[in-house]
């Protein structure tokens, strides 16, 4: 599938079939995740692939919006031991978000459904995930991704809005930016 097609076809799937995600697809998703860009190429990410049903059931309850019935839950987390000291410290959020989007697009291209559930900066959700998975304080769960074959998949659509694109033409005066 072309990248553009994956971007347009990716939708949040909130209802899944029981079919398991093949191992080869999981490996592929991890490779795609780690192909993403990161500040200073520090790759401050960790991926927790939760196949265990008892742990999944606990993870479904970490927020009010995470209850979907996916056969696989993936947690994408930032590793604070791998971040840039000082002002650039928070770049880990962008780095990990790029990895999340790569996973969602790769999943779409493999015919899988996915849904991104936000964790950080919700402190309670972060703590609950840490407790459930036994993670240290230096690991910050950023996103919970539901993965599986979509039972109900919303249709592709565009959200293009010309009003949100702001162009500074070559011939505009410098005053235009003030």
Ligand X SMILES: Cc1cc2nc3c(=O)[nH]c(=O)nc-3n(C[C@H](O)[C@H](O)[C@H](O)COP(=O)(O)O)c2cc1C
Q: Residue 56, class by beta-carbon neighbours within 10 Å (0-12 exposed, 13-18 middle, 19+ buried)?
A: middle
Among 77, 115, 139, 140, binds ligand X (CB under 6 A): 115
**Do residues 163 and 114 lie in contact, with contact meaning Cβ atoms separated by under 8 Å?**
no
**Whose CB is nearest to ligand X?**
118
Rounded Cα distance between 17 and 9, Å, is 19
Q: Which residue, 22 or 121, has its beta carbon nearer to ligand X?
A: 121
116 binds ligand X (CB under 6 A): yes
Rounded Cα distance between 138 and 172, Å, is 48
Residue with tokens 């995930």: 129
Q: Which residue, 38 or 70, has its beta carbon nearer to ligand X?
A: 70
40 binds ligand X (CB under 6 A): no
Q: Which residue, 104 or 136, has its beta carbon nearer to ligand X?
A: 104
Site for ligand X in 63-92 (CB under 6 A): 63, 65-66
Site for ligand X in 137-166 (CB under 6 A): 154
């Amino acid at each position: 599938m072309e990248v553009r097609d994956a971007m347009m076809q990716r939708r949040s799937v909130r209802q899944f079939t029981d079919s398991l995600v093949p191992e080869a697809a999981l490996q592929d998703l991890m490779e795609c995740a780690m192909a993403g860009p990161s500040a200073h190429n520090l790759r401050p990410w960790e991926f927790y692939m939760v196949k265990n049903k008892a742990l999944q059931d606990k993870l479904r309850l970490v927020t009010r919006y995470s209850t979907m019935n996916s056969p696989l839950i993936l947690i994408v987390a930032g590793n604070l031991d791998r971040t840039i000291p000082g002002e650039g410290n928070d770049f880990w959020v962008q780095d990990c978000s790029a990895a999340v989007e790569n996973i969602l697009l790769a999943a779409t291209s493999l015919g899988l459904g996915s849904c991104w559930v936000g964790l950080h900066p919700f402190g309670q959700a972060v703590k609950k995930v840490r407790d459930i998975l036994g993670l240290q304080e230096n690991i910050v769960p950023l996103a919970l991704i539901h993965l599986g074959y979509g039972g109900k998949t919303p249709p592709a659509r565009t959200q293009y809005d010309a009003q949100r694109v702001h162009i500074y033409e070559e011939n505009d005066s410098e005053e235009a930016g003030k």
